[in-house]
Structure 1
Amino acid sequence: MFFFKKLPSITTKELEEMLPKKPMIIDVREPQEFSGGHIPTAKNIPLKKINSYQIKEPVYIICQSGMRSKQAVKTLRAKGMDAVNVKGGMMSWAGKVRGGKL
């Protein structure tokens, strides 16, 4: 019996390389954190609202450090959605950002 299932994850570098393909990115940080700087194509859905979210395509979940995004991925995958955690979160992001400085 497995107590810990490994969540599908990618690095911020892998996500950055995928940007030309326009992947669906959800940032689960709070709105004030999101406005402080986020990936230009990311959509902000705070963690506390992720349970009501429905999606049919693969989605990449990011937060500040990777902890909230793991929780969001667990929630979405339990509902049968194809969700992938972005390891290291915005703290590891080296690509372009929209909004304030991180």
Structure 2
Amino acid sequence: MSNAALISVSDLPDDAVVVDIREDDEWQAGHAPNAIHVPMGTVPDNLDAFPETDEPVPVICRSGGRSHRVVQWLVHQGFDVVNVDGGMRAWAAAGKQMRSEDGSEPSVI
């Protein structure tokens, strides 16, 4: 198993565009403000949702495990991606901006 590149939440701006691969209920509870939601099971069918950029695209889940596997797969598909170390738990712990889909206090579930 190859190691996926990691990026710390402290190295990402609050307004970073990240691809959030968590499930719908996790996404609705709280996510980064400029995140793009592509649930893990739908990634192969939604590769066009990944932004085209000159920088590696950060991929995030709750704690980094699922995104690690997705990043490994995407690298094999030729994508320039990086795993967000610690996931949304680390994002929230760092006090970074979050929003929920229903307007309630955002949380990481």
Provide TM-score, normalisation by structure 2: 0.78
Identify the structure with the greater strand proportion: 1
Equivalent residues in 2 for 1:1-102, closer than 5 Å: 4-16=1-13, 19=15, 23-52=16-45, 53-54=47-48, 55=50, 56-57=52-53, 58-93=56-91, 94=94, 95-99=96-100, 100-102=106-108
Query: Which blocks of at least 5 consecutive residues in structure 2 are unaligned?
Result: 101-105
Query: Which blocks of at least 5 consecutive residues in structure 1 are unaligned?
Result: none
Number of equivalent positions: 95
Distance 2:60 2:30 in 1: 12
- Corresponding letter in the other structure for 2:19: I
Distance 1:16 1:64 in 2: 18
Equivalent pair of 2:3/2:72 in contact (CA under 8 Å): no
The structural deviation recorded for 1:6 is 2.4
